[in-house]
Structure formats: structure tokens, C-alpha cells
A and B are shown apart, each in its own frame.
Chain A
């Protein structure tokens, strides 16, 4: 069975934590944008690093993957790549659906 790539399956026992997790991810998008505007690559690197650690732990593989790309791009001060990552992240969060099992 092919699964919609924007559907994330999360363990049932994490259900109570997901609303706060999603709220924090959306806040994270704003923080990323602010850091990019300020050209604060150190903060961008830390934010990417954090996304990388927390995303997959909850089951959100895409969050970890985008986080890794943000971290790597920040290390190279690559504004363009970071901007693309942020846009992709915002789009992902707007469309992702969570199911519990």
C-alpha cells in the first residue's frame, strides 16, 4: 500500500505531545526566517541541529532531513539554500497530516 508522503505515523503514546510539538515547529519557521534576515548563521546552525535531533525522534523524518540541510547550509553561510529549506519546511508543516497507531 502506498502511503501519502505527507502523512506521518506517530506512536499512540506520543499523541498528547504532538499539539505542542507542532506549535513549536511553526514557531521555529519564524525563528529561522528571523535568523536568516539577521544573517545569524550560528543560530541557524543550532536551529538546524535541533530540528535534526527532535524530528525523527517523534517520527517526523522530513523535519530531521530539512534540519540537516539547514545546518550544513548555515556552516557554508549559504543564504539561498537556507531560504529554500525554510520555504520547504513551512510548506511541509502546512500540509502534513498526523495519524496515530
Chain B
């Protein structure tokens, strides 16, 4: 049974709500009457299970809980309330005829906030309820301030990081997951996938187009590329001139980092195709995206001085991706050998050309290189 008897008290939603739990109807009526007189809204339950159901459905501000009830005891109800996050902060007063120390100890162990002995003295009941009401309201106020501060902090973190990483990753940092803010960690070696993209024909574009138009076009181009990177949860490490460096498996682990990088490359080529087509019509420029991707071990961390630093990735896969990008034609994705091996099951349907072992500028040893042309690239 669980019936509200608080209709005569202050309006629902504004009054302090007390749940009285006792299997003795006379005790319930007695406590409810006294609490009503104090202007409190009273609800009642006659056993432990219906009390728990009522509390979960609509948490009260205070629970007056009898200890000795048939079925689930008051100790057990209290213990369960205090062990659950959603109900742990609701003050619980154990009301019992038991006056021995052992029962009090059991109550404390169950998490009770206070005790009231039967027979109940009305002055004592009112005083204890008033005190707990004050404490509870202070606690709620502090909690609401803490929540407001937390929302503010998350918003600040989201704003700070959303220019570098996808909104989803920014959300994870704001939520405090992934061991907090990875950008404050020490430099470390890690396996990653580096993707470099740039604009084929950019130099010609800057020569033939007004500066104002160039900036607008670059913004449009980077808008397309960053959308593709964020769509696949890539992290942008560098944007210079017309080139963009995107990392995967950094700063957060991504078991499917290679597949994400490959999808990003496809998205970049496909999404830029209509933009390039429009530029061709408006400016007579033939432009396209060239992409290089490589995977391997590299260093990730903050590099720079006390006054200026970049959170960046450094190492062979990054250098190799940059060289591959320089070699890539418009709409072409060049992959180093290890990268190709990791995504070869994904490239069926696209045109793959093995370029054999290629000695890249700055490298002494030749490496295997694969060129992939996506079907959608033809529009570029």
C-alpha cells in the first residue's frame, strides 16, 4: 500500500515531502498528523518493498522508516537506499522501539542519518525533521551549484577542444572519461595512423584568384576536410597553407584506426568533388585533393617552448604520409605498405595500383606504395 495523505499540506512540488514507512496503521496516522501540522507533505507506505518502489518512482525529501516490519526490514530498506546513487542522499530516520546499542549500530551501518525512538515524542520528531530538512535543503543547494559549475566546466572544455577534435571526442574529454584531458599528458610513443591531405593546384589558384576569394575558398575546402575528419573521429594536428594533418588512434585508442583513416580519405575526396566542380565553373580552376596515409609508431605530445607549443605527432609514419601526399595526384590516395595491408579488405570496388618500392625524399630505404582511386573521385 502506498497512499498520499498530503493533500492538505502545501502544494505538491513545493512542499518538503516525507515518506512515512510503518506496518502499524496507527503509528503512520500519528506521524502523518504531526508532520502535517508542520506544513509538510506526507506520503505513506506499509512495508519495505512498497516503500522502495515509491521512493524510486518519486524520491521524497526525507524517509521516516520503521525498523521491524514483516518482509524487508527497515535496516535493509535503508541499506539499499544508501547503496544506490539516485537515493543515497535522501535522509533516512530510523523510527524504532529498539533502544539497544546493537540496533543503533546496525542502523548506522545501514547508513541511517538519524534515529527516533518509539514511543515518539512529538517535540523530538519535529526538531529532528526540521534539522534534517535544513541539512537536506543546504545539500540540494550545494548540489545544484556543483551541477551548474560542472556544466560550465564542460562547456569550456568543449569550446576549447572542439577546434581540434571531433565534437564526440570533445564530449568524452568534458565528461572526464579517457583518463581526463589527454593533451596535458607527457609525450609518449604509440602506434598511430597519419593522414595528410592537400590541395592539388593550390599554387595556381593563389596566382589566379583574388586574395579575398582565396581565403574564402580555403575556408570552404578546410570545412569539407575537417567535417570528414570529425565524422570519423580523427584528430587534427596541423593545418598549414593548404595541407591538413589528421591522426587516428591518438589521443584516444581506436581499434579500427586504419579503417577510420581510409573512410576519412574517401569522404574527403567525395565531399570535395562538388566543390571542385563549382570552382571549375566559377574560376576555371582544376583542383582536387591529394592524400597520403601511413601507419606505424610515432611520438605524440606537446612540442615547443614555454611560450608556444603544439600538441603534435612526430615520426616516420607522419613523414611518410607527408611525402606520399606530395606524390598523390588530385583525387588519389597513396598508402604505405603497412597501411594498405590493414585496409586491403576495404578497397575492393576501388581502383588499386601497386607502385612497387618507392624511395621517398628524405628516406634511404624504398618502401612499398599503393595508389587507390575511389569511384567518386572521377567527378573531381
Contact = CB atoms under 8 A, between A and B. Distances in A.
Interface of A: 11, 13-14, 17, 20-21, 24, 46, 49-50, 52-58, 64
Given A13-B37, A24-B25, A46-B68, A53 B118 contact: yes
Interface string B61-82: 0000000100000000000000
Contacts of B96: 53
A40 to B, nearest CB: 13
- Among A17, A50, A52, A58, the one with the most B-chain Cβ atoms within 10 Å of its Cβ is A50
Given A13-B37, A64-B119, A53 B30 contact: no
B3 interface: no
Interface in B1-44: 24-27, 29-30, 33, 37
B97 interface: yes
B13 to A, nearest CB: 26
Contacts of A11: 122
B199 to A, nearest CB: 83
Given A13-B33, A52-B118, A58 B26 contact: yes
Closest 6 pairs between A and B when the two form their complex, measured CB to CB: A56-B119, A53-B118, A53-B97, A57-B119, A57-B120, A54-B26
A53 B98 CA distance: 9
B30 A52 contact: no
Given A24-B26, A46-B68, A49-B97, A54 B33 contact: no
A52 B122 CA distance: 16
A17 B27 contact: no
B119 A50 contact: no
B351 to A, nearest CB: 84
27 contacts: A13-B33, A17-B26, A17-B29, A17-B33, A20-B25, A21-B26, A24-B25, A46-B68, A49-B68, A50-B24, A50-B27, A52-B118, A52-B119, A53-B24, A53-B96, A53-B118, A53-B119, A53-B120, A54-B24, A54-B27, A54-B118, A54-B119, A55-B119, A56-B119, A57-B27, A57-B120, A64-B119
- Among B25, B33, B68, B118, the one with the most A-chain Cβ atoms within 10 Å of its Cβ is B118
Interface of B: 24-27, 29-30, 33, 37, 68, 96-97, 118-120, 122
B26 A14 contact: no
Contacts of A46: 68
A17 B24 CA distance: 13
A57 B95 CA distance: 12
A20 B26 contact: yes
A20 to B, nearest CB: 7
A50 B26 CA distance: 10
B298 to A, nearest CB: 72
B25 A57 contact: no
B355 to A, nearest CB: 88
A48 to B, nearest CB: 10
Contacts of B25: 20, 24
A58 B96 CA distance: 15
A57 B120 CA distance: 5
Given A20-B26, A52-B97, A57 B118 contact: yes
B27 A53 contact: yes
Nearest to A71: B97
A20 B118 contact: no
B47 to A, nearest CB: 14
Contacts of B118: 52-54, 56-57
Contacts of B29: 17, 20-21
- Among A11, A24, A49, A64, the one with the most B-chain Cβ atoms within 10 Å of its Cβ is A49
Contact of A57 (B30, B37, B68): B30
A67 B82 CA distance: 32
Contacts of B122: 11
- Among B27, B29, B33, B120, the one with the most A-chain Cβ atoms within 10 Å of its Cβ is B29
Contacts of A20: 25-26, 29
B266 to A, nearest CB: 74
B30 A54 contact: yes
Contacts of A24: 25-26
A66 B68 CA distance: 19
Contacts of B24: 50, 53-54
Nearest to B25: A24
A50 B122 CA distance: 18
